[in-house]
Amino acid sequence: MNNFIPKKIVDENLIDKLSNSIGCNKDLAEVLAIRGFEDAESAISFLQADIKNLTPVFNYSGMKDAAARIKQAIDFGESIVIYGDYDCDGITSTISLLKGLRKIGINCDYYIPRRLIDGYGMNMNSIYDILDDDYTLVITVDCGITNITEIETLMDEGIDVIVTDHHECKEVLPKALAVLDNKRPDNSYPFVDLCGAGMAYKLIAAIYEELGIKGKEKELLIYTALGTVADVMPLINENRIIVKEGLELIKTTNNPSIKNLLRVSGKLESRDTLTAQDIAFYIGPLINASSRVGDISYAINLLMTDDEEKAFQYADRLLEFNEERKKIEKKITDEAFEQIIKNYNFNSLAPIVVYGTDWHKGVIGIVASRIVDKFNRPTIILSIPSDGNCYHGSCRSYKDIDMMKLLKYANEYILSFGGHKGAAGLKVESKNLDNFIKKLKEVESLMAGAEEGIPYAGSKEHYILDMENCELVDKVIRILEEITPVPKKRVKKSN
């Protein structure tokens, strides 16, 4: 499997060059070189992670149209609905846009599909509900890019749609008024790793700029940062700026919802030293637990309230949901491990497939991650309903193996699937299960032999490393600043 891990070779000359031009020691220069910096300007920009270095929002294809349409909605007193997603990124995208729009007096509601009933993305039932109401504009966050039919239905009925998303595009883009997705093949935007909340933030920044209140959006970076870390984005470039600024706000805010989230995470007392890892391992899971095993409205209500007492109660409920999630997760993990140890051939590199009756669909994704960590194989978990023939599954990839390619390979035995390189969901009919597993075993030869291999995806290992590096770099900077101040040179913005 080693040939699947990219190697970083760092040139000694580059380390010398960086160390001399930045005026830092060689250890920091090496960290920067490993991270791919080749000149002092971009390295300094990274170190400073200055919010002024966020790329101008109007560099996005579609952003001008989107901002103009929202301005029109303000002028005519229209009602907007935000269409979000149930995971932490989707929730924080929804919350930031909701707060950002309400703050400027827009009449604005939200719709979030139910994880266990509706599944990911837009669904027709909700489209009919939206049509029944008085909305004239729908803005999607963290979803929408693949909902061609749903969006066409809305547009045909005279409801404008603005899509903001960060998921892979299909060959056809939805026929919306504006499509903001950093994975758009024709997008001129230089940074493709913003999450849903990052994209929502860009939209708010654009509207505020259009209205001449530029800068007021910055307080929303609390939510953008939560979404960015929880959605496992690489903490480089703009994401580093977003998370750095967001962490500072989380450390100092008096907002009762954030303070209570910190309280139930056990991080309130020590919030001065809060890190991205704290968000990843404590705060993100609390928010996610609400849609996995509880009721998403508690997470939304918590993040929307300004009331101390309510915030206290909602946060306590999230804590209960999270404890429940841990219990269910442990039970499924134990059963899955037993199955793997009994049935899996460890000489094989083929993906692991495990399944169990009525395994909780809100939790199998996390269990898949645990299996990947333990057994170092891409993993697919299926939940078999005691009263049906359609198995719902959740997949997580190992290192840089592209899960979508694996699933495409077994496509003929899959009812439907969708997701990212690193994680995906799928449905398999019971009659196809054996063939599905057999087909995936063939993948082994592809993984071991093929020269082109299975392309890399952003892996979890990368991410952890990224966070550690990020925080390591922060520590190094603090030490450095005590010795010699980090140069205050600004990187020129490219327009």
Q: Which residues bind Mn ion (CB under 5 A)?
A: 89, 142, 195-196, 231
Sign of CA dihedral 23, 28, 29, 32: negative
Cβ nearer to Mn ion, comparing 78 with 150: 150
* Contact (CB, 8 A) for 94 and 220: no
Tell me how far apart the alpha carbons of residues 192 and 178 are, in angstroms, rounded to a whole number. 18
| Closest residue to Mn ion using C-beta atoms | 89
Minimum CB–partner distance for residue 386 and Mn ion (Å)? 32
Smallest distance, Å, CB 93 to Mn ion?
Answer: 7
CB of 187 to Mn ion, least distance (A): 17
Helical residues (DSSP H) of 36-119, grouped into ranges = 40-48, 63-75, 88-103
Q: Determine the Cα–Cα distance for residues 324 and 322; give it in Å rounded to an integer.
A: 5
**Residue that has been written with the tokens 């169990």 in this structure:** 356
Q: Give Cα separations from 62 to 163, 189, 206, 222, 350 (angstroms).
A: 10, 11, 11, 25, 42
Residue 51 CA to residue 385 CA, distance in Å, equals 49
Q: Which is nearer to Mn ion, 174 or 351 (CB)?
A: 174
Closer by beta carbon to Mn ion, 193 or else 231: 231
Nearest distance from C-beta of residue 202 to Mn ion, angstroms: 14
Instruction: Please state the separation of Cα 104 from the chain's center in Å.
Output: 27
Nearest-approach distance from CB 422 to Mn ion, in angstroms: 12
Question: Among all chains, which residue has been given the structure tokens 């040179």?
Answer: 489
Residue among 29 and 98 whose Cβ is closer to Mn ion: 98
When the beta carbons of 89 and 181 are compared against Mn ion, the nearer one is 89
Cβ–Cβ under 8 Å, residues 378 and 400: no
Please tell me whether residue 195 adopts helix, strand or coil conformation: coil
3-state percent helix, strand, coil for the chain, nearest multiple of 5: 55, 10, 35
| Least distance (Å) between residue 196 CB and Mn ion | 4
- Report, in Å, the least distance between residue 179 CB and Mn ion: 16
Distance CA(100)–CA(287), nearest Å, equals: 20
Q: Nearest distance from residue 143's CB to Mn ion, in Å?
A: 8
Q: Are 486 and 477 in contact (CB under 8 A)?
A: yes
Instruction: Specify the residue, 94 or 301, whose C-beta has the smaller distance to Mn ion.
Output: 94
Q: Which is nearer to Mn ion, 89 or 150 (CB)?
A: 89
210/238 with CB nearer Mn ion: 238
Are 380 and 368 spatial neighbours (Cβ–Cβ below 8 Å)? yes
Look at residue 167 and give its three-state secondary structure: coil
